[in-house]
Amino acid sequence: MACTVMGILNVTPDSFSDGGRFLDPERAVARGLEMAAEGAQVIDVGGESTRPGAEPVPEAEERRRVLPVLRALRAELPAGVRLSIDTVKPKVAEEALAAGASLLNDISGRLWPLAAEAQVPWVAMHMRGTPQTMQIDPVYEDVCREVFGFLARLAEEALAGGVPEVYVDPGIGFGKTTAHNLELLRGLPGLVAQGRPVLVGTSRKRFLGVVAPEPDGSAPPPPARLAASLATATWAAACGCAMVRVHDVAPTVQALAVVGSLREEVGAA
């Protein structure tokens, strides 16, 4: 199965990589259409930053940011391109689904009853604490065993509760050190083997700048982490993950086309 590309559309002033670029609804809609033209099969719209240390956004403000964008995109996107809502707020999720979203991307792990009621797929993600606290000394005895076990239990609960499809996301960068992130990426074949579709989001994240610094040893800024982002996206696809969540759609689509071709050739050999 080919790995799907989910394009990130942050309609926020403070996201870690592109905060403020698409806060204006017209620019956000234009970017969503551009990502679809580049090959994104899902556009993930979020109105609240979840970067480490980010403060919560009032519900009314989050709704104001995302709903006009969702409605406009639903009217203009080509057939076959899905909209996703990235939120932890029940009311925002409800109204976003009514506005045209057909996938619920939930870092809190709590909104599956809404997905069951609406009969839409749900993304179950692992996170320690909240965006305000998650990077304060995260500790695990065995990060893959703990994260993958948590996701398996959560997926089973949601499916038993009526959610039609559950994607599991190990939550790279959400309550993990660089070493934890790398261990989870190495362990992706084990998560895929659980039988649930796996979503991975590493795009432009801070740990990539640690693993792949500039020649002078400094961490490159988020937009300069494209090569590292592509490396982890292609790794996820090669491991059998179902979806990658990215900022840079066009180069990721190209890279995954190569990975898909190679996987087909290996499978036919």
CB 84 within 8 A of CB 105: yes
Name 85's bridge partners: 45, 104
CB 101 within 8 A of CB 83: yes
Q: What is the DSSP string of 102-150?
A: -EEEETTS--HHHHHHHT--EEEE--SS-TTTTTSS---SSHHHHHHHH
Q: State which amino acid sits at residue 97.
A: L
176 catalytic per annotation = no
91 catalytic per annotation = no
Question: Cα angle vertex 222, ends 1, 200, to 5°?
Answer: 25
Which of 22, 31, 15, 11 has the alpha carbon at shortest distance from 73?
31
Among 205, 206, 225, 263, the active-site one is 205
Which of 206, 245, 207 has the alpha carbon at shortest distance from 42?
245
CB 132 within 8 A of CB 53: yes
Catalytic positions are 205, 245
